[in-house]
């Protein structure tokens, strides 16, 4: 009897280790996925080397996928650590590393990253933004302008082609970069309270987990008495629907992340 147990024990330990490794592997894979927590009208998912297909509520979206929205459409993706990405109309964005690396090809997004989940980076052809534990709105149109609004927390922004100079953008501030810019302007204070009441990426979705933090910024603005700019009517044309509603037709086709380095 003792001999039998002596022989079976290593096998049991090996099976246990394999089971634990399998569970950990599945958990890691799930953490790299997002699930669709809201989809309105025309929302497509684009995976590398695959045709675009309609997005469905609660389905999983694997890493390196992209999301494309049509006119008057929007979507929300939620990750395992409660990172949230909301996508406005006529937008294309892709994500990697649990939503930590986000590439905005066109349009408007809202990104909320929990404080204890590590940093994230938003990339566009004009502007790159590094954030940690922050809620931001980001809008990019390659031929006209790029806009960053920090709702709470802070972020560091730099021109993608000229990363030498970096600007700190804090809660309640906005940074605008015109197409072809070679240097950054200073961020400006915006009427965050008005933005909360009018921007579709906020009003057309459930309350953000960071809403109390954003309201703290609003209260701080009111107490300070600092002059505030209405972010919805500034010269670059931020509309109330998304960040600029992003209703312009897309001027260039989207290339999935896996095809970026392939030659035509």
Q: Which CATH architecture has domain 35-248?
A: Sandwich (2.60)
Position 10 scores a pLDDT of 57
Is 4 strand, coil or helix?
helix
User: Alpha-carbon distance 27 to 19, whole Å?
Assistant: 12
| Rounded CA separation 90/72 (Å) | 8
Which H, E and C letters describe 206-260, residue by residue?
CCCCCHHHHHHHHHHHHHHCCCCECCCCCCCCCCCCCCCCCCCCCCCCCCCHHHC
Going from the C-alpha of 194 to that of each of 10, 146, 174, 183, 202, the distances in angstroms are: 65, 21, 14, 29, 11
Per-residue pLDDT, 16: 44
Three-state SS at 98: coil
Q: Taking the CB of residue 44, how many other CB atoms lie within 10 A of it? A: 18
Going by DSSP bridges, is the β-strand pair 166-170/101-112 parallel, antiparallel, or unpaired?
unpaired
Query: What is the residue extent of each domain of the chain?
Result: 35-248
Kindly report the backbone phi and psi dihedral angles of residue 74, in degrees, each rounded to the nearest multiple of 5, phi listed first. Answer: -160, 165
What was the pLDDT predicted at 246?
36
- Of 35, 243, 10, the C-alpha closest to 139 is 243
10-residue averages of pLDDT along the chain (264 residues): 54 47 36 83 86 90 88 91 89 78 92 82 94 91 92 95 93 93 92 92 93 95 86 48 41 45 38
């Amino acid at each position: 009897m003792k001999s039998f147990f002596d022989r079976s024990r290593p096998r049991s330990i090996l099976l246990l280790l394999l089971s634990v490794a399998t569970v950990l592997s599945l958990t890691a894979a799930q953490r790299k996925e997002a699930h669709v927590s809201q989809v309105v009208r025309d929302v497509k998912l684009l995976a590398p080397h695959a045709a675009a297909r309609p997005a469905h509520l609660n389905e999983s979206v694997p890493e390196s996928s992209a999301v494309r929205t049509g006119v008057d459409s929007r979507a929300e993706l939620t990750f395992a650590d409660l990172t949230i990405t909301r996508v406005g109309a006529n937008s294309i964005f892709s994500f990697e590393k649990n939503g930590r690396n986000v590439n905005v090809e066109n349009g408007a997004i809202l990104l909320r990253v929990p404080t204890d989940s590590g940093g994230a980076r938003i990339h566009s052809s004009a502007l790159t933004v590094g954030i940690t534990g922050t809620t931001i709105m980001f809008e990019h149109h390659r031929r006209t302008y790029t806009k960053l609004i920090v709702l709470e927390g802070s972020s560091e922004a730099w021109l993608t082609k000229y990363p030498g100079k970096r600007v700190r953008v804090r809660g309640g501030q906005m940074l605008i970069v015109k197409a072809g810019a070679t240097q950054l302007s200073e961020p400006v204070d915006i009427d965050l309270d008005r933005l909360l009441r009018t921007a579709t990426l906020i009003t057309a979705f459930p309350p953000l987990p960071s809403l109390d933090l954003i309201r703290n910024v609003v209260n701080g603005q009111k107490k300070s008495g600092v002059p505030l700019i209405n972010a919805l009517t500034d010269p670059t044309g931020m509309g109330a629907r998304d960040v600029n509603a992003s209703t312009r037709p897309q001027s260039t086709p989207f290339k999935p992340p896996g095809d970026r380095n392939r030659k035509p």
